[in-house]
Chain A
Amino acid sequence: MNGLFAPTADPAPAPDPEAVPVVVLSGVSISFEGPPVLDDITFCVPRGETRILLGPAGVGKSVLLKIVNGLLCPDKGSVLLLGEEISQMKEEKVIPLRARTGMVFQEGALFDSLTVRDNVAYQLIQERVPDDEIDSRVREALTFVGLEQTFSMFPASLSGGMRRRVAIARALIHNPEFLLYDSPTGGLDPVTSTTIIELIMKQRDVYRTPSLLVTHRLQDAFTLCTHRYDPDQGKMVPLPEGHSAEQTSFLMLNEGRLIFDGSLYDLVHTPDPFVREFLE
């Protein structure tokens, strides 16, 4: 009788949600009427980690980012976003998952016909959050990116750098579980680029939000690795010589294939001739 109630085997332990990566890509390929833009891409973004995707212009970095967020469907392979397979999922089922992520587009992609307030609050407005709460959360998000004064302005009256910062505020207002940045500093002057990188660093170090950042600017990538955000000083500070930011690692794409996946140390010591040429 006792045997009936005796456990026959140890039950499989439930996976720790904190241990499950936010994104897992396996064998992802995609092509658009021609040779593959991405071919057999496999990598993951663990929780709390920032992955920097490097590569020359036109190798499919933005396409990869859109696949990760379910904006494009791969021809082959699987994409796990926040634990759910989305590569073949219907649009209406991916939408709630996307709402849990934040994405910053190359040129900001702000809605021209809406004010900065309505752009930043777009998701909250759709969810019918009360106006008072929207106003306070928008002001908080704009303060985070240092643009409180733009609350009632239209995107057309903002500079390129300000538009990117508003786009970051829009991506952050919903407290996303995962962030995607598509060349957030592309086409900006060095000073504005540093401001944007500092914001990304602040989000990484203060809120520990995992992210995937696409860039072809090495200096931005290295700044993220060699600095940390100091909340007491309210600015980024360099890490001691020989140290690099924990949980910030690199991926590199070339001709549709992932040719590097590793830390800053691995990157600068890789024997791969293309990576070396890219770094030099």
Chain B
Amino acid sequence: MATNTIDRSAKQIVLTVQEYTLFAWRAFLNLFSPPIYWVDFLVQSDIIGVGSLNIVVLSGFFTGCVLALQSTATLQAFGATSVTGRFVALTMIRELGAVLTGIMVSGRNASSMASELGSMVVTEQIDAMRALGVDPMRKLVTPRIFACITMLFFLTILSDAFGILGGAAVTVFLNHQNATQYFSMAWEGLRLSDILQGLIKPLFFGYIIASIGCYNGMKTTGGTEGVGRSTIDAVVTASVLIIVADTLVTQVMLGIFR
């Protein structure tokens, strides 16, 4: 009995991975053949990009503050508080800016995509769209995926910038250190490879967030209860996959820029 359950679950997982892969691949390929819904791309860019501005700026700023606060205590033991700027900038740009922005945007947008598309599925609006001769993959999914990739890239840059500013605020106003020293250390410590690493990650994260959100939405079954389930699944899966992808991309990037 237990073997049957394991067998069924394993098959279900393989089927889901297969379906998701085909779904995400089709959504990607749609960008290279007409019709391309540019207006929907702009609308989604506004919803994802402008709509997430507040949470990304705030989370970036306060993460920078915390990094500066935590590092100061340790760096003081080595008499190296002057490198706080370098520490905060490197941590934000290489790692935390992209991951935190990804998780914030995932919480806000993967859930909204899953619930919006899920509601459309259970009220037959997706079928109605298909019946009206419009492909929902092209109209709803592809614009969301590419808007999310584009916007996450810029949101990550903003998060990095505000994180460094947050670190500066703590360093200058709480630790009473020199702002010029903080920013010059931050600048000098950065290499092109650090910036590239930090800017390549959001491209993967954006793809994960939107494709998982849309996939869960489009596969919704079971009425309004199913919409709730899809929303939870979307946020949980996207958040975990962001961390997994971060590990893989970091490993690859470290190999390239060794």
Contact = CB atoms under 8 A, between A and B. Distances in A.
B222 interface: no
A107 B134 contact: no
Contacts of B35: 126
A95 B133 contact: yes
Contacts of A272: none
A107 B124 contact: yes
A95 B127 contact: no
A126 B35 CA distance: 10
B127 A105 contact: yes
A151 interface: no
Interface in B107-145: 120, 123-125, 127-135
Interface in A71-109: 71, 91-92, 95-96, 98-99, 101-103, 105-107, 109
A100 to B, nearest CB: 8
Contacts of B123: 107, 109, 112
B128 A99 contact: no
Contacts of B128: 103, 105, 109-111
A71 B125 contact: no
A95 B130 contact: yes
B127 A66 contact: yes
Nearest to A66: B127
A50 interface: no
B130 A71 contact: yes
B134 A109 contact: no
A103 B131 contact: yes
Nearest to A105: B124
A112 B124 CA distance: 12
In this complex, the interface size class of chain A, counting residues with CB under 8 Å from chain B, is: 20 to 34
A98 B132 contact: yes
B239 to A, nearest CB: 27
A123 interface: yes
**B123, B124, B129 pick with most chain A CB within 10 angstroms:** B124
B113 to A, nearest CB: 14
Contacts of B134: 95, 122-123, 126
B130 A109 contact: no
Contact of B124 (A99, A101, A106): A106
A263 interface: no
A103 B129 CA distance: 10
Contacts of A109: 123-125, 127-128
A111 B128 CA distance: 9
A109 B129 CA distance: 9
Interface string B215-248: 0000000000000000000000000000000000
A126 B133 contact: yes
B96 to A, nearest CB: 35
Interface in B192-214: none
Which 6 A-B residue pairs are closest in the complex by CB-CB distance?
A: A99-B133, A109-B128, A109-B124, A103-B131, A105-B124, A123-B132
20 contacts: A71-B130, A91-B130, A91-B135, A95-B134, A95-B135, A96-B133, A98-B131, A99-B133, A103-B131, A105-B127, A105-B128, A106-B124, A107-B123, A109-B123, A109-B127, A110-B125, A111-B128, A122-B132, A123-B133, A126-B35
Interface of A: 66, 69, 71, 91-92, 95-96, 98-99, 101-103, 105-107, 109-112, 122-123, 126, 170
Given A98-B131, A111-B128, 18 more contacts: A66-B127, A71-B127, A71-B131, A91-B130, A95-B134, A95-B135, A98-B130, A98-B132, A99-B132, A101-B131, A105-B128, A105-B131, A107-B124, A109-B124, A112-B123, A112-B125, A122-B129, A122-B132
Interface of B: 35, 120, 123-125, 127-135
